[in-house]
A = this chain, B = another copy of it.
């Protein structure tokens, strides 16, 4: 099942960046106890699996099949789940495996240095009393949750694995709003640009942004469906009081998708404004040309008339000939200008 995927161009996958060692953090807690350690491989998990405490195993890096396989064997993960975890081009989805739920979704983080959005795949496996989270690279997005667990403040230590899974998803989805803010600012910037300076480069950037938006939508849209399925699933792994929390994430995702749709419509509108400003500009250029031609062509014709070499042309020999010709031409010019002014051409 080796999978080759179409790689999108504009949003950078975080996976390409680095291939360092896999970092595994094991946190084990219940309401009263908290224990955290870092390991490089999971050999025996029976310790965690059978304890009533909640165990959270965070795996940073999915490029080492041997490490993943040990975890999979330990927790009895299906081979296909394992493949999905290591294939970082998954579409967000949920798989109910009875003993555990498998959830894949994307984390987005804005890289200010390169003005790029980094996409990272997060896989969650959570069962009765454990959560295993897989990140593509070493990251710090889950640090605040670790802090909350350590401090034992709030609800989190009193709740089970399902609440922990919720917290991890919530942290990720909350991050989407930051990305949207970046987009929103850029769109506003481009909107000012397109009106004040209708340039093909701005147009190109709008198309670039539009494509990024389409791509973003593609990543987030299935999340909505996934959370709908989660809400309707009859899995006992998510306890009834926790369901409202997942529904809350669902609301946020719908809000994100709403904003994306608005962005798309705004970008489409901007393209239309650009095109109409091109037409408008053309009209103005043509007006200038027409005004100039309409004034000077008759005048030049008049000079031509008096430039003909006929021997007998009235007025040529008279002193007032030239001034009168000039006056006539001046009159024509003034009339033309007034005509154009009346028609609001100039």
- A interface with B by C-beta (< 8 Å): 1-9, 78-80, 84, 89-91, 93, 95, 97, 155, 170, 174, 177-178, 180-181, 183-184, 188, 195, 200, 203-204, 207, 210-211, 214-215, 218, 222, 244-245, 247-248, 251-252, 254-255, 258-259, 261-262, 265-266, 269, 271-283, 285-290, 292-294, 296-319, 321-322, 325-326, 329, 345
Known contacts A277-B200, A282-B279; A211 and B269 CB within 8 A of each other: yes
A303 CB contact (under 8 Å) in B177, B276, B283, B304:
B304
Q: How far is the CA of A95 from the CA of B245 in the complex (A)?
A: 12
Contact of A80 among B204, B244, B288 (CB under 8 A): B244
Report copies per complex. Answer: 5
Could you give 11 example pairs across A and B, Cβ below 8 Å?
A3-B174, A80-B245, A203-B276, A274-B276, A278-B283, A282-B286, A292-B293, A293-B293, A296-B300, A299-B301, A310-B325
Kindly list chain B residues whose C-beta atoms are within 8 Å of the C-beta of A84: 248
Chain A residues touching B, majority SS: helix
Within 8 Å CB of A244, what residues of B?
78, 80, 95, 97
| Bound Cα distance A18, B80 (Å) | 38
Residue numbers in B under 8 Å from A314 (CB-CB): 322
**Min CB gap A253→B, angstroms:** 11
Check A211/B312 contact, CB under 8 A, given A91-B255, A248-B1, A303-B301. Answer: no
Complex contacts, A211 vs chain B, CB 8 Å: 262, 265-266, 269
Q: Are A262 and B297 in contact (CB under 8 A)?
A: no
Partner of A174, one of B4, B195, B296, B303: B4
Residues of B within 8 A of A271 (CB): 272, 276
Q: Within the assembled complex, what's the spacing in Å between the Cα atoms of A183 and B7?
A: 12
Complex Cα spacing A303 to B310, Å = 10
Taking a contact as CB atoms under 8 Å apart, the answer to whether A312 and B303 are in contact is no
Chain B nearest Cβ from A240, distance in angstroms: 10
Identity of the chain B residue whose Cβ is nearest the Cβ of A277 in the assembled complex: B200
Q: Across the interface, which residues of B come within 8 angstroms of A307, CB to CB?
A: 303-304, 307-309
Is the beta-carbon distance between A188 and B9 smaller than 8 angstroms? Answer: yes
CB distance A283 to B280 under 8 Å?
Answer: no
Nearest neighbor of A268 in chain B, beta-carbon distance: B272
Which residues does chain B contribute within 8 Å of A174, judged by CB atoms? 1-4
